[in-house]
Structures are given as structure tokens and as C-alpha cells.
Amino acid sequence: MRAGLVVMAMVLVACPKRAAPAVTAKTIRLLSETAERETAQLTELRKDLEIDTRDFDRTPHVVATGETPLFSAEGADVRLYGDEAASKGFSVDNIILLEVLGADGKVLRNAVIGYSDPVSQGRETIDNLGRQAFSFEAGELNLAPVLPEHGSFRLRATVLDYFGVGKVSDVFVRVEPKASSSDELRGQ
């Protein structure tokens, strides 16, 4: 019996439970509010992209750009908000091209957020993140599907428009450690 306890103690010491890296809760500005402007007034184009439309200009016009510093989201929940307090939603006309950049600056993944006809880059159609809409509720969009599981990265956002007017509200990225299952049970 005593030998069994010694073996069990050795197993527990030899196989420590791995703790996920600690992520500190933080809010990072991604985009600053940009007032409504007619598409025809927007001279910068994203010529590497194409909107699948027959009625309007297929090359999107750049409304605004923004980029986060390098950060990690291991073991965190990452969502978009319209204010630093993470209490408001945000809006965009037409779309935000969200690009996930590795520490070396290389684009790892991308997605579009907003309301648009299909967007392609070369032969690849870029997936929508969330529903097609001009306005989003606070925290509605979870960025987990496009973020790397490990390592540091940056987010680059380009607001694009292809007809009428282009605009965007403030957009913030909120990083919060995920609640453990024991934390979730305490609230019940």
C-alpha cells in the first residue's frame, strides 16, 4: 500500500499539469471613426482585391486603415467592439478586410466583415466572418476562427467600399482570458 502511494506521488510530480500562458485582459484600438465620404472621392484602391458585382466598380476603394501592435491570444477570447469600454457595437460601410499578420509581417489568414458581394484575392474567395450586415452588436464577432492558436500576431484592418458612401465607426479588439469551467460553474 505504501509503495503504491509512493508510485502515485512520483507520477503526480513527474506529470505536472500544464498551465496555459497567462493572457492579460486588454482593449486595443483597431480603427478610428472615419466620417462618411462618397466612394468617388476615395482615390486609394486595393487593386489586389475584386468584388464580384456586375453593377458597380469591382475594385474596392480604401476608406480607412488600422493595425494593432503585436499581441498573443493564447487561451483568450478575442472579440470586436465599438468603444474602449467594450460596451458598444460598431458599424462599417461596406466591409473591413481583416488580415492576421505573423510576427514577420506575412499575412497568415484573412476575412471580411460587413456587407458585400463576394470578395476575392487572386483566385481565392475571402470568407465572411459573421453575418452580412452594416452594424454589429458589442462582442458579436468572435475572431477565434481566424487567429493562430499559438504565438504573437498583429491585426491589420482595411475598410473598403465599392458604391455609394464609405464609413466606419471606432473599432476595438478586446482580449480576455477565457473563463475556466470552474469559473463558469460558480456563476450558476
Q: Are 132 and 161 in contact (CB under 8 A)?
A: no
pLDDT one digit per residue (tens) for the chain, 188 residues = 555 544 444 444 554 444 545 678 999 999 999 999 999 999 999 999 999 988 888 999 999 999 999 999 998 999 999 999 999 999 999 999 999 999 999 999 999 999 999 999 999 999 999 999 999 999 999 999 999 989 999 999 999 999 999 999 999 999 999 876 554 444 44
DSSP 11-74: HHHHSPPPPPPP---EEEEEE--EEEEEGGG---B-TTEEE--SSS-SSPEEEEEEEPPPEE-T
C-alpha cell at 156: 491589420
3-class secondary structure, 8:
helix
Q: Which helix (H) or strand (E) holds 100?
A: strand 95-102
3-class secondary structure, 124:
strand
> How big is the chain by its Cα radius of gyration, in Å?
21
For the beta carbon of residue 130, count every other beta carbon within 10 angstroms. Answer: 16
Where are the domains positioned within the chain? 20-178
Cα gap 62→158, rounded to integer Å: 7
